[in-house]
Amino acid sequence: MPYKTLKDLSLKEYFGPGHRLCQGCGAGIIARLVTKVAGDNTIIVNATGCVEVATTFYPDTAWGLPYIHVAFENSAAVASGVRAAYNSMVRKGIVDKNPNVIVLAGDGGTADIGLQSLSGALERGDHILYICYDNEAYMNTGIQRSSATPYGAWTTTSPPGKLSPGQKTGKKDLVGIAVAHGVKYAATATVAYLLDAANKIEKALNTPGATFMHFLSPCTPGWRIDTANSIKVSRLAVQTALWPLYEVVDGQYITTVKVPKRLPVTEYLKLQGRFRHLINKPEEVAKIQAYADKLAEKFGYGPIST
């Protein structure tokens, strides 16, 4: 059943308050939403990262669901193992229901370190949902660049200067990588469009085989934004076409949130301290705008209006 209003979402909280995530953290919203949609019969597999460090401080845990923490590089492999174990237990009659198995991993644990185990799980087609919450750098260890960091962004290992614009390479297309494995369902989402995200999570959980979701998650200290602006920034990412929202069903790209009049990328960049050095460099901003134009053309977004 698709979610039509916010009130359709479950009242029950599986992700408890009082965790150590920063004020205004996008990952907290994602964790709450995912557990609300998935419900009681769920096992969370969490790779090392902000969420793991902030929510599971011995002897407490913020998770009201079965939870397993694994290393960066093997989260998808562990999820495959959990699924295999449950398949076997259902066959033997030890448990009667096969649970949802959801992997929650950051962009470092997905695009860099965990890519091989993710590739394996997608290729085998184990029935798991892999969710990458992408805050565009290694935020937990102190804002080092990852392969998901966008062009021009400041991080501690991609400092801007006379000879450098900041991060020199663009973002890795993770959904494209997942689609290349022939997955039945892959999608992008962000915290500003939660109804869209909730429907995508439900669709992904109900699709047999491996499914992949790429969530843009604003990071207030890492992106140098005001804590109150985290939703606003992620909404601007969609409206400037830097983060188009789409789903891929059987290799078919479908745009889910249409933007008839998009905004120039400067609207998105000027709110964030990590792009502050680009203000006086119009040629670098033009490169980012060109990237947004390319995405806008691909996903059918409208022309720029100011």
Partner 1 sequence: MKKVAIISFPSKGTAGETGTWRVKKPVIERQKCVKCMICWLFCPEGTILRKEDDFVEIDYRYCKGCGVCANECPTKAITMVEE
Which residues are near partner 1 by CB under 8 A? 5-7, 9, 11, 13, 15-21, 23-29, 32-33, 54-64, 191, 194, 220, 226-232
Residue (61 or 207) nearer to partner 1, CB: 61
Residue (52 or 126) nearer to partner 1, CB: 52
Shortest Å distance, C-beta 274 to partner 1: 19
Residue (18 or 208) nearer to partner 1, CB: 18
Distance CA 267, CA 233 (A): 9
Shortest Å distance, C-beta 192 to partner 1: 9
Residue 232 Cα distances to 129, 171, 228, 229, 248, angstroms: 27, 21, 8, 5, 26
Q: Residue for token digits 């920063």?
A: 22
The residues facing 144 across adjacent strands are 138
Distance CA 141, CA 163 (A): 26
Shortest Å distance, C-beta 56 to partner 1: 7
Amino acid identity, position 68: I
Residue (5 or 252) nearer to partner 1, CB: 5
Distance CA 264, CA 277 (A): 18
| Residue 175, CA atoms < 13 Å, CB-side half-sphere | 23
Shortest Å distance, C-beta 60 to partner 1: 4
Residue (31 or 148) nearer to partner 1, CB: 31
Which region holds residue 142: left if phi is over 0, alpha if psi is between -120 and 50, else beta?
A: left
Residue (29 or 70) nearer to partner 1, CB: 29
Backbone angles phi, psi at 131, to 5 degrees: -110, 120
Residue (112 or 226) nearer to partner 1, CB: 226
Shortest Å distance, C-beta 233 to partner 1: 11
Shortest Å distance, C-beta 254 to partner 1: 24
Shortest Å distance, C-beta 26 to partner 1: 7
Tell me if residue 43 falls in helix, strand or coil. Answer: strand
Sheet holding 252-255, edge to edge: 67-70, 42-47, 100-106, 129-134, 211-216, 185-190, 246-249, 252-255
Amino acid identity, position 290: A
